[in-house]
Amino acid sequence: EASEGASVRYSRTARVNTLKMTVKDALEVFRGDGFECDVDALIDTLLVFPAGTDLHAHRLVKSGGVVLQGRASCLPAAALAPERGWACIDGCAAPGNKTTQLAAMVGREGGVYAFDADAKRLKRLKENATTTGSHAIIRAKCQDFLTVDPANQQYASVRALLLDPSCSGSGTEVNRGDIMLREALCDDNDDENEVDAADHDRVEKLAAFQKKALTHAFNFPEVQRVSYSTCSVYEKENEEVVRDVMGAANERGFKLVHALPAWHRRGIAIDGLSESQARCLIRADPTEDDMEGFFVAVFERDVERTRSKG
């Protein structure tokens, strides 16, 4: 996952956990403590501090009043925009930064079913749920998302699904260091959005899983919105995944929607994915956008219309 704003290069960001406090109160506390900070222009629950600001020991972080979360990592839940009271699924959830963000959005009347296949990582999610006071909203389970049964009555009321599966992480600072080094050594890749030869097999496998998981997400009968995200800059894990699941999406009544229209950087048109479809997609550029490299696509369907069509 994105390295949650740990970078010295990007502005430090902290998401206000609105289950515990208001943005106004958090801003007052930080400013009162002498920090320079402001509310982010795009994500209205995110506070932005100068790069390198160390907040780890701050009392609001310790108490779960704010969560240290990178700006890029906040985009998927913001784009998914579940309404208050909705039930959601977070398909690949640990360590739960987006899960607790969803919990704050749906509130105590809502719910988030959080799945992760890795027990250790799920433990961290549960700890994060406790710190943020969202443990009563989140139902965490160690389970392969592909085995979660869409016909199970338990999920019959789920309206939004966030899918943030394992990816190459090629948009994150640590991984980008590798990319830059490799480029310096062999200089055979002049497009950073294309997969490097050394990463090829791994990325193929990741993309195959990403497509399977996203196709599975479309099978939940009452789901209205699905977000798909990666912290990769590779088209293979981003636009190509979207293009390759489009048939399955359309079959289930889903269409791509123009996610977070206020955000300037959009997806890349590729063979089989038109300019207008690419404009629906969100990209963050790790060298241009003061955040790690990221990708988000949002699919939406009119459940009522799909149902009446049978």
User: Footprint of ligand SAM on this chain (CB under 6 A)?
Assistant: 1, 73, 92-98, 115-118, 121, 144-146, 164-166
- For residue 212, the minimal CB distance to ligand SAM (Å) is 9
- Does the annotation place 94 within a ligand binding site? yes
- For residue 117, the minimal CB distance to ligand SAM (Å) is 4
Nearer Cβ to ligand SAM (24/141): 141
Return d(Cα 210, Cα 208) in angstroms, integer. Answer: 6
Under a CB-based contact definition with an 8 Å cutoff, are residues 117 and 140 in contact?
no
Q: How many CB atoms lie within 10 A of CB 228?
A: 30
Q: Which of 74, 88, 231, 280 is catalytic?
A: 231
Return d(Cα 279, Cα 8) in angstroms, integer. Answer: 31
Q: How many CB atoms lie within 10 A of CB 62?
A: 11
- Does the annotation place 98 within a ligand binding site? yes
**Whether 142 is catalytic:** no
Q: Which two tokens stand for residue 63?
A: 């108490």
Nearer Cβ to ligand SAM (147/308): 147
- Does the annotation place 95 within a ligand binding site? yes
Name the percent of the chain in helix, strand, coil, to the closest 5.
Answer: 40, 20, 45
- Does the annotation place 38 within a ligand binding site? no
Measured in whole angstroms, the distance separating CA 257 from the mean position of its chain's CA atoms is: 16
Return d(Cα 283, Cα 268) in angstroms, integer. Answer: 9
- For residue 229, the minimal CB distance to ligand SAM (Å) is 8
Residue with the shortest CB distance to ligand SAM: 92
Residue with tokens 């009321």: 157
Nearer Cβ to ligand SAM (49/115): 115
Closest CA to 92 of 121, 129, 69, 70: 121
Nearer Cβ to ligand SAM (144/288): 144
Can you say which residues are annotated as belonging to the binding site?
92-98, 116, 144, 164
Residues that are catalytic: 231
Provide the annotated binding site for S-adenosyl-L-methionine: 92-98, 116, 144, 164
